[in-house]
A and B are shown apart, each in its own frame.
Chain A
Amino acid sequence: RKEVEQDPGPFNVPEGATVAFNCTYSNSASQSFFWYRQDCRKEPKLLMSVYSSGNEDGRFTAQLNRASQYISLLIRDSKLSDSATYLCVVIYNTGGFKTIFGAGTRLFVKA
């Protein structure tokens, strides 16, 4: 089993739609969680951290479920500019902290 797994998609949604991505992780000692965004032919950039209580940043909501070992990202009122690949990132303690990137979920938002 991969350390971090995501549905690769692609998710094709119309503008204004709500879309959700899930990401599962295998290491129960995972401590920190993030969502990164990667545009086509660009570098990954931090989108938001994921906190235990869940957190929101504008149209984006991130949630963590430690019992089931998954994190989620919800995008409301999708914009064309949201089209990108969303990477789930998990940090766990292995004597030092190790960062693992998921393979990403591709999102296309269409007019």
Chain B
Amino acid sequence: DTAVSQTPKYLVTQMGNDKSIKCEQNLGHDTMYWYKQDSKKFLKIMFSYNNKELIINETVPNRFSPKSPDKAHLNLHINSLELGDSAVYFCASGYGQAYSTDTQYFGPGTRLTVL
């Protein structure tokens, strides 16, 4: 069974479009994350949700809106896509900020290309 799954795996779209990426975890974790990994391979946290509540929002443009219908799902919606949004987006889950030993489990990533 896949612990953290994301769909789609690849997403190619035009500038200005709106798109969504879905993430689900079956590990029973309370916390889920979205990371962006750009062409320089630097993994940057975007958002963190704990039990459906937003915990971290790291200076991300408001075109990016996460939505957590329940603690097993954290979806990412992006409005008005720009060329600079092209990257790999990773979803992850873990026990969260209450734990100093939080190990994070990552989904396989969604490779977004904006043309």
Q: Are A43 and B109 in contact (CB under 8 A)?
A: yes
Q: Which of A54-62, A74-82, A95-103 contacts B (4 or more CB under 8 A)?
A: A95-103
Q: Which of B36-44, B64-72, B75-83 contacts A (4 or more CB under 8 A)?
A: B36-44
A103-B40, A103-B42, A104-B41 in contact; A97/B102 too (CB < 8 A)?
Answer: yes
Interface residues in chain A, defined as those with a beta carbon under 8 Å from any beta carbon in chain B: 31-32, 34, 41-46, 49, 85, 87, 91, 93, 96-99, 101, 103-104
When distances are taken between beta carbons in the complex, the residues of chain B under 8 Å from A44 are: 43, 90, 104, 106
Contact partner of A31 (CB less than 8 A), chosen from B56, B100, B109, is: B100
Complex-state Cα separation, A45 to B90, whole angstroms:
12
Nearest CB in chain A: distance from B89 CB, A: 11
Interface residues in chain B, defined as those with a beta carbon under 8 Å from any beta carbon in chain A: 35, 40-45, 55-56, 90, 94, 97-109
Q: Are A96 and B106 in contact (CB under 8 A)?
A: no
Contact partner of A34 (CB less than 8 A), chosen from B44, B98, B103, is: B103
Q: Main SS of chain A's interface residues?
A: strand
Nearest CB in chain A: distance from B9 CB, A: 10
When distances are taken between beta carbons in the complex, the residues of chain B under 8 Å from A91 are: 100-102
Nearest CB in chain B: distance from A12 CB, A: 17
When distances are taken between beta carbons in the complex, the residues of chain A under 8 Å from B107 are: 43
Nearest CB in chain B: distance from A27 CB, A: 13
Give the residue name and chain of the B residue nearest to A89 (CB): B104
Give the residue name and chain of the B residue nearest to A93 (CB): B100
Contact partner of A97 (CB less than 8 A), chosen from B41, B100, B105, is: B100
Task: Give me 8 A-to-B residue pairs in the complex whose CB atoms sit less than 8 angstroms apart, sorted by A's number.
Answer: A32-B101, A43-B109, A44-B43, A44-B90, A44-B106, A45-B106, A93-B100, A98-B56
